Structure 1
Amino acid sequence: MSLINLKPKVTSIIKDSSESTVSRLTKICEVLKDSVAYYDWVGFYFANHEARTLHLQAYAGEATDHTVIPFGKGICGQVAVSNENFVVPDVKAQDNYIACSISVKAEIVVPLFKDGKNIGQIDIDSSTKDPFTKEDEVFLEWMNAEVASIL
């Protein structure tokens, strides 16, 4: 499915105020994972700035041991520090990579801002090497801006 075609689904989930925020985030993860062939694991991490850690709040895909990630560690931890998107075409080429699964070949992490502050991120793993494009980044930036409206 085209990422553009996912916008109405994501918007509908976000606007469903009868569901809790975590439930809506989980549904977004599930829709992305189920709709985009190369999105094999999708999760939202949120920052605890005092402890300098990220905490997994919602995800779709295999369970992970990486529910708390220190700032600076792995791709997610680096995004918590840099406040910039990080696209990894080949995780084997990254020195500071935390392996979540042997099948992961690529990763994209896009920070989530609320009132100008990096409060979290969406993290997507793919078992396909180098699948992410600028279209993925633009879509995920849009989606994170929409998600910020319910946080």
Structure 2
Amino acid sequence: MIFETLKPQIETIVFQTEKTINERLLNICELLEKHVAYYNWVGFYFRNGLKEELLLGPYVGEPTDHTVIPFGKGICGQVAVSNKNFVVPDVSAQDNYIACSITVKAEIVVPVFVNGENIGQIDIDSNTPDPFTKEDERFLEFVCAEVAKIL
């Protein structure tokens, strides 16, 4: 599976201390978008200080107007509240979905925890209907745990 070959590459990126955190996060986004065919938009959102909102961090894919997302709004905002992974096989079936592009068919969001606190998340959109599996979830949990080491 592609995920096993990507794990050491994620670890390498995380420990490239000559790069800024944002450069490393962007490199992770680029790696995932390039090597997982159905990852069409890959980005990070982070809590905005003490405010109950998320700010867009590094990402790759189509530009988005959703640079600030209130807690509870959309898939990302729901993950900020629930602290749980959220896999959406069909975005059109979600009432509380923020449409980024008409081409997006599915989404997966996995929180990033630092010292037990949900400080952000990785968000992936796919133009493929229902592509995400438990393997995607486990892999993205690994990615988020690696990212947490540098935040």
* TM, length-normalised to structure 2: 0.98
Shift of 1:48: 2.1
CA RMSD of aligned residues (A): 0.8
3-state SS in 2 of match to 1:144: helix
Query: Residue in 2 aligned with 1:52?
Result: 52
1:125-140 paired onto structure 2 within 5 Å: 125-140=125-140
Shift of 1:51: 1.6
Moved >3 Å (runs of 4+): none
3-state SS in 1 of match to 2:138: helix
Percent identity over the alignment? 67
3-state SS in 2 of match to 1:18: coil
1:1-150 paired onto structure 2 within 5 Å: 2-48=2-48, 50-150=50-150
Shift of 1:95: 0.1
Amino acid at match of 2:106: A
* TM, length-normalised to structure 1: 0.98
Q: Which whole-Å CA distance do the structure 2 matches of 1:146 and 1:79 have between them?
A: 19
Amino acid at match of 1:36: V
Q: Which whole-Å CA distance do the structure 1 matches of 2:28 and 2:107 have between them?
A: 18
Any unmatched runs of 5+ in structure 2?
A: none
Amino acid at match of 2:54: L
3-state SS in 2 of match to 1:130: coil
Measured against aligned partners, the alpha-carbon deviations of 1:28-81 in whole angstroms (never above 9, x if no partner) come to 000000000000000000012522000011001111000110000000000000
Shift of 1:8: 1.1
